[in-house]
Amino acid sequence: MDAKSYQQTVDQMAPKRPVIKNCMKAFLTGGIICAIGQVISFLYMYFFNFTERTASNPSVATIVFLSMVLTGFGIYKKIGQFGGAGSAVPVSGFGNAVISAAIEHKSEGFILGVGVNMFKLAGPVIVYGVFSAFVVALIKTILVKMGVISW
């Protein structure tokens, strides 16, 4: 049997993936996570007198923290199995990925296991975020000094 006919046989025998169903589940999961984030943001604005602009940072931190706690209890894995990319794309997926690496390598010790493997993912994300913020601020400063935009 040549490679082409083998691939045709595999394609015929492989179960069809429910793409539309998976997309709907991802959309629903991501939407629920974002709705929870919005509720948290409203709570910060209502109870702590944050503005809409200042409530965003603590809201993001709260979502990341909650996803880490849910990962620790094994609940976020079930959410991920149901929602797929809908649970990985929001910022909660970042918290899940960081804490999953830490949990997976806890047998290697706190420093070389948990610490090192936790920052294998978080480190590049933090560096990219800081560098991107620096570049955007630099461009904005140059454009303000040139008089192209006003602040």
Query: pLDDT per position in the chain (151 positions), as tens?
Result: 788 899 989 888 888 889 999 999 999 999 999 999 999 999 999 999 999 999 999 999 999 999 999 999 999 999 999 999 999 888 898 888 888 888 888 788 877 778 787 777 778 888 888 999 999 999 999 999 998 988 7
Q: CA-to-CA distance for 3 and 119, rounded, in angstroms? A: 43
User: Which residue, chain included where needed, has tokens 């999953």?
Assistant: 100
Query: Is there a contact between 76 and 64 (Cβ–Cβ < 8 Å)?
Result: no
Q: Is-contact 112 118, C-beta < 8 A? A: no
Alpha helices per DSSP H over 14-115: 19-48, 56-72, 75-83, 85-88, 91-104
